[in-house]
Structure 1
């Protein structure tokens, strides 16, 4: 229970500081200066390419197909195990793909935060807070891992969980390194993902909770 509470508090604090242009934004500026110093003192084309590659992993093109494929695979495995409501991973995956922009876009429009380059927003342009790429990566890959972990063993489940953590961390690091986002933009999206995954994990049943109609039981 501590993890979602910390995520919720951190999200509220960062949002308040972004809205009020508070002192916590100094962390953003300090991190950006440190990144610029590192890139200046030790320039590395491979590191820059890696930053862009990691950033791209948060785009909808790679993340959403992975999410939908995971939903389809989980449904297939649930059906093979004769679990009740075997089709459930399919609408969960599809709903998640729709949920992400519903969480991020209104917040971007409301906060209207300029990006690290400082260019003013144009008419109709969304802001940078929270990071859409980070949210897409953290929620899409996280839900994909959650769905697949319901039908795999504990060892595979641990690997899936590790991947679901490391990928969004890499995306966030790539965005900050490439000067695409402020650090707090990324942190806010990590917090959104934690809250979303925590709620889904509590609600989503496990195939082992019941079998098909032949056994007379159902998933809870």
Structure 2
């Protein structure tokens, strides 16, 4: 009987996912090649050039002021509402949640923690490098500028470089970095570049960043993506450590309780030595067989008992009854008693 016609769309999707390999063997880790080293060096030089141009109050600072006086949000107010929502693609919290959800699904499907660990490493590097540059240079934004034409450096601000731009480059670029095929890597690289470019220009449009802040944010995010292959060995060691801890926890949790094995019915029972009391002689070890009846207790020892009428009352003055001829004197052992 054919049942393929009754499958729903969701059933077909899960059936397709079940045919995917758990650990794709064709996924290779990016290496720090010579081409990547050249790109990293060029991006670092561009980063330092932007910082130097702003510190020396060069033509780039004058361009920043010209764009600020142009006030793009007043020139094109019809797109203001859309760009208020579009700039969220550069905020760290929402974008990290969205990308982490997708990478978590990939980690579960591929039985590996590398996507999540790579995302965590990139965000940690982003917070350290961009945060240190922000608070180290202390530049004020366009809305808080004090002197026209100055670079506003060392004034206690935190906008240089642009955190929205750098975060957009890293968060969406990590999808291209972790792509499994060259074609997917090219498409995702183009998409992340367009997204980060739009986020950076949106901050300039809204007046929250200078144009030089956006340029430095692009360079800062690209430096982190280019430096990730240097951290791949550390990511692999952390993943192996986490898997080892998981296996140990599973073994400790799923190990059955070991009970003492029961002795067979025909095996002899060996009584261990008991510590003798102070007034008691030591007792030797004794082996009791299973077929031999146990020795009765002293108060249950078998033997003839005299009736109450035959017992001789004992008084301090002695017995008042004459001894019975058939009764054995007190203190002797009966022959019938074992």
Q: TM-score, normalised by structure 2?
A: 0.51
Q: 1:62 to 1:145 in 2, by over 3 A?
A: farther
Q: Distance in 2 between matches of 1:43 and 1:161?
A: 29
Q: 1:168 to 1:190 in 2, by over 3 A?
A: same
Q: How does 1:5-154 map to 2 (within 5 A)?
A: 5-34=41-70, 36=71, 39-40=73-74, 42-45=75-78, 47-79=79-111, 86-119=112-145, 126-147=157-178, 149=179, 151=180, 153-154=181-182
C-alpha displacement of 1:28: 1.6
Higher relative contact order (CA 8 A, sep 6+): 1
- Name the count of aligned residue pairs: 191
SS in structure 1 of the partner of residue 59 of structure 2: coil
C-alpha displacement of 1:77: 4.4
Q: Distance in 1 between matches of 2:135 and 2:183?
A: 41
1:185 aligns with 2:213: yes
Q: TM-score, normalised by structure 1?
A: 0.75
2:60/2:212 contact within 8 Å kept = no
Q: Distance in 2 between matches of 1:204 and 1:170?
A: 30
Q: Deviations over 1:106-125 (max 9, x none)?
A: 1111111111123469xx95
Moved more, 110-119 or 172-181: 110-119
Q: Distance in 1 between matches of 2:162 and 2:45?
A: 18
1:18/1:113 contact within 8 Å kept = no
The equivalent of 1:216 in structure 2 is none
Q: Deviations over 1:95-141 (max 9, x none)?
A: 222222211111111111111123469xx954210011111111111
Larger Rg: 2
The equivalent of 2:12 in structure 1 is none
Q: Distance in 2 between matches of 1:198 and 1:66?
A: 22
Match of 1:172 among 180, 200, 222: 200
SS in structure 1 of the partner of residue 44 of structure 2: helix
Cα RMSD between the aligned structures?
2.7
Which structure 2 segments of 5+ residues have no match?
A: 1-34, 147-151, 234-338
Q: Distance in 2 between matches of 1:89 and 1:43?
A: 40
Which structure 1 segments of 5+ residues have no match?
A: 80-85, 206-220
1:162 aligns with 2:190: yes
Q: 1:68 to 1:198 in 2, by over 3 A?
A: same
